[in-house]
Amino acid sequence: MIDLNNYRVVELSAKFESTVYRLDTSVDEGAPDVYNLPWYLEDQINPDDSSIEQLVGHEAGDPVWPIPPSGHHGSHIQLGIGHNDNWSDLPDGMLGLWEMPIDTYYGEAAVCFFDDLKGEPILPEHLGNVQKGDIVLMGSPHADDSPWIDGDTAYWLAEEMKIKMLAVGVPGIGWETKMKEPEPDNCPTHRAMTGNNIPIAYPLSNIESLTQERVFFMSMPLNVEQMEGTWIRAIAIEDV
């Protein structure tokens, strides 16, 4: 039997507070995620047993956010198929989240927390604790003027270090650049990771509370075929 009593389990999922539309027409106001995306729940009555259940959705005609939440609201994980397979110059053989083996989503992680790197690109020389095949956890205390992942660094992580997953704290890390550039020069981190079937998990939080450079990280997606991004509960486990 696995015993976690001698380990510390750290919550890395970002807090996300839903807005709930109640049966009596009252509304419990929530708070958006770090990207200002909201979460909506609607009470309904289960006709079989009259219990209250909540739909993930939105109030019809809501002027604030007129579409329901997607798998990209709050802490989530994504891969290429269904998400950016419409971009040009991406390789054949990209997979969906549901096609990856389960051990893709957990394993040893290098913790890369950049206290002193502010407003500068993150380069391979800053990632000396990353080993081949690692999950890479990145964070910084800098909400403004954050360090960012240079495009060449993203390809170095994906193709030379062959990392297992990129897991990013936001705010703190600018993990994607050149989003408005024309293809194929746009979004180098997306291209480097998803083009090599490396999932990206974000926005994470609380990375600064980790006390060790190597931890066991886990962030499991929902097992839903054709869902190109799903919500996660991300945790790190470290020695006490």
User: Whole-model pTM?
Assistant: 0.94
Query: What average pLDDT does the segment 114-123 reach?
Result: 96
- pLDDT at position 54, please? 92
Q: State the average pLDDT over residues 58-72.
A: 76
Q: How confident is the model at residue 63 (pLDDT cuts 50, 70, 90)?
A: confident
| Mean pLDDT across 48-64 | 83
- pLDDT for the residue 2: 84
What mean pLDDT do residues 88-109 have?
96
For residue 64, the model assigns a pLDDT of 66
Please report, for the chain, the start and end positions of each structural domain, with discontinuous segments joined by +.
17-70, 76-239
DSSP, residue by residue, the chain: ----TTEEEEE-BPP-B-EEE-TTS-EE--B--TTS---EEEEEE-TTT--EEEEES--TT-SS--S---TTSSSEEE-STTTTTTSTTPPTT---GGGS-GGGGEEEEEEEE-SS--SSEE-GGG-TT--TT-EEEEE-S-SSS--EE-HHHHHIIIIIS--SEEEEETTT-B----TTSPTTSS-HHHHHHHTTT--EEEEE--GGG--SSEEEEEEPPP--TT-SEEE--EEEEEE-
65 pLDDT above the threshold of 80: no
Mean pLDDT of 134-148: 97
The CATH fold of domain 76-239? Glucose Oxidase; domain 1 (3.50.30)
